[in-house]
């Protein structure tokens, strides 16, 4: 077995909810690799882009991620403020730590901010989930993806279409590594633990007399920042909820917009113990606080259908074989449509309704195929590729 010499230090960056399930498997894979002789020192940097317990700490707990070595405590702000503050704070950490590598994941503001700092300090950058493109530059994440990929040295892609996107943008083939979808590593890990979740029994009173339920997640600016759009989406889903209760863990951004726009009447709100709040029975849409990963996956795994504008949920539902209705005009994850269970409807009520009716029709085949290398072994593949770059020639 080859030995690492000298020990290499990797700064692993996470900032927002969808990052945590992407770095957890990597940290576990580094530990396993170290147990087999590698000498990698992972240093976890949490930018603090997400700071609420329900968007952050609960994922560290559910996924067994060690406490971050650094928490930059950045918090919310406009895109420029948030990105700029992350860059300034991360530069200090990168200078003091002098790592061999910076690893970033996904497409959030923390991803581009830290990649840019590292690139300017001539520290190699590894990007996990590289190459995804919605071809929609009105999405802040699309800009983050394009720029992060442009300055990364190791581009780890989840699907072949991502390789193709990178090649078309002129990225050298030797920087691109098709390794599969790292989120699936986390999903497979948590699926072994869903028997520990109490969420189904806590929601028992609401779900008991129904044969099934649907789930909703919404947080994209394109759905929640405009009153008329949000009202139309909630109105449509409220109609559909007559057939089936809908569980809606509400992102803080969406909760604020629903409140500011006076649209709360569409939703029956549950408290932190999942009891219906006094005087509430507005509809069969049940608004709950954001959920941790264990509880969320437990509910998703049994849902009849899921409405979402998230990226990761399109992928998770494909693996779980749950029909997914994506309330966006496009997706950067086309394999979830061509191979998986995903239907893109935008926020047009007619299209949403049609997709819902098809999804709940008896005989509708939900499990299609699981994309290549979405097999729960992506993180070890990444660690092996990266470690080999830092191995000395000695055996």
What is the contact surface with ligand UD1 in residues (CB under 6 A)? 16-18, 49-52, 55, 76, 107-109, 140-141, 219, 251-253, 256
Q: How far is the CB of 311 from ligand UD1 (least distance, A)?
A: 6
**Whose Cβ is closer to ligand UD1: residue 253's or residue 302's?**
253
Largest CA distance in the chain: 71
Q: How far is the CB of 203 from ligand UD1 (least distance, A)?
A: 22
**How far is Cα 72 from Cα 228, in angstroms, rounded to an integer?**
36
Give kind and range of the element (H or E) at residue 306.
strand 305-308
**Whose Cβ is closer to ligand UD1: residue 256's or residue 389's?**
256
**Whose Cβ is closer to ligand UD1: residue 28's or residue 219's?**
219
CA-CA-CA-CA torsion sign (363, 215, 138, 158): negative
Quickly list H helices, the chain: 17-35, 57-63, 79-97, 109-120, 140-151, 160-168, 182-191, 199-202, 204-207, 221-224, 227-240, 252-260, 293-302, 312-320, 335-338, 349-360, 378-390
**Whose Cβ is closer to ligand UD1: residue 2's or residue 79's?**
79
φ, ψ for residue 253 (rounded to 5)? -60, -45
Give the catalytic positions in this structure.
219
Q: How far is the CB of 253 from ligand UD1 (least distance, A)?
A: 4
**Whose Cβ is closer to ligand UD1: residue 16's or residue 240's?**
16
**Whose Cβ is closer to ligand UD1: residue 38's or residue 267's?**
267
Q: How far is the CB of 141 from ligand UD1 (least distance, A)?
A: 5
How many C-beta atoms surround the C-beta of residue 178 within 10 A? 17
Q: Is 50 helix (H, G, I), strand (E, B) or coil?
A: coil
Tokens of 101: 């590598």
- Dihedral, CA atoms, 69, 102, 128, 40, nearest 10 degrees? -70
Residue located via tokens 């504008």:
309
Q: How far is the CB of 47 from ligand UD1 (least distance, A)?
A: 10
Strand partners, 44: 12
Peptide bond before residue 90 is cis, with ω within 30 degrees of 0: no
**Whose Cβ is closer to ligand UD1: residue 293's or residue 390's?**
293
- Dihedral, CA atoms, 367, 186, 106, 171, nearest 10 degrees? -80
297, HSE (Cβ side, Cα atoms, 13 Å): 27
Q: How far is the CB of 333 from ligand UD1 (least distance, A)?
A: 13
Q: Give 178-245 as a DSSP string.
A: E---HHHHHHHHHHTTGGG--HHHHTHHHHTTSS--EEEE---HHHHSSHHHHHHHHHHHHHHTTTS-
Q: How far is the CB of 55 from ligand UD1 (least distance, A)?
A: 4
**Whose Cβ is closer to ligand UD1: residue 76's or residue 92's?**
76
How many C-beta atoms surround the C-beta of residue 385 within 10 A? 14
Q: How far is the CB of 365 from ligand UD1 (least distance, A)?
A: 29
Residues 216-244, buried b or exposed e (16+ Cβ, 10 A)? bbbbbebbbeeeeebebbbebbbebbeeb
């Amino acid at each position: 077995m080859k030995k690492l010499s000298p020990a290499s230090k990797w700064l692993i960056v996470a900032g927002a909810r969808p990052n945590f399930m992407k770095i957890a498997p990597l940290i576990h894979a580094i530990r396993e690799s170290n147990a087999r002789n590698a000498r990698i020192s992972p240093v976890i940097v949490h930018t603090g882009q997400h700071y609420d317990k329900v968007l952050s700490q609960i994922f560290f707990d559910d996924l067994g991620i060690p406490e971050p070595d650094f928490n930059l405590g950045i918090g919310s702000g406009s895109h420029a403020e948030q990105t700029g503050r992350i860059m300034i704070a991360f530069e200090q950490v990168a200078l003091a730590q002098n790592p061999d590598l910076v690893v970033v994941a996904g497409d959030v503001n923390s991803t581009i901010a830290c990649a840019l700092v590292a690139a300017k300090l001539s520290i190699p950058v590894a990007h996990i989930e590289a190459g995804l493109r919605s071809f929609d530059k009105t999405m802040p994440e699309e800009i983050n993806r394009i720029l992060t990929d442009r300055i990364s040295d190791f581009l780890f892609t989840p699907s072949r279409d991502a390789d193709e996107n990178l090649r078309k943008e002129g990225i050298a083939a030797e920087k691109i590594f098709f390794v599969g979808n790292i989120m699936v590593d986390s999903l497979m890990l948590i699926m072994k633990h869903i028997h520990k979740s109490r969420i189904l029994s806590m929601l028992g009173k609401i779900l008991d007399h129904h044969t099934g339920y649907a789930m909703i997640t919404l947080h994209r600016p394109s759905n929640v920042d405009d009153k008329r759009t949000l009202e139309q989406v909630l109105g449509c889903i409220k109609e559909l909820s007559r057939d089936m209760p809908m569980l809606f863990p509400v992102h803080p951004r969406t909760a604020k917009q629903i409140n500011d726009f006076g649209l709360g009447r569409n939703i029956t709100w549950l408290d932190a113990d999942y009891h219906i709040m006094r005087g509430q029975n507005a509809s069969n849409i049940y608004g709950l606080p954001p959920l941790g990963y264990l509880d969320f996956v437990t509910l998703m795994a049994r849902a009849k259908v899921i409405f979402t504008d998230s990226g990761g949920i399109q992928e998770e539902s494909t693996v779980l074989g749950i029909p997914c209705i994506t309330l966006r005009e496009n997706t950067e994850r086309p394999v979830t449509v061509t191979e998986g269970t995903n239907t893109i409807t935008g926020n047009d009520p007619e299209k949403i309704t049609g997709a819902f009716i098809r999804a709940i029709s008896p005989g509708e085949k939900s499990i299609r195929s699981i994309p290549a290398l979405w097999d729960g072994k992506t993180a070890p593949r990444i660690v092996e590729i990266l470690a080999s770059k830092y191995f000395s020639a000695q055996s």
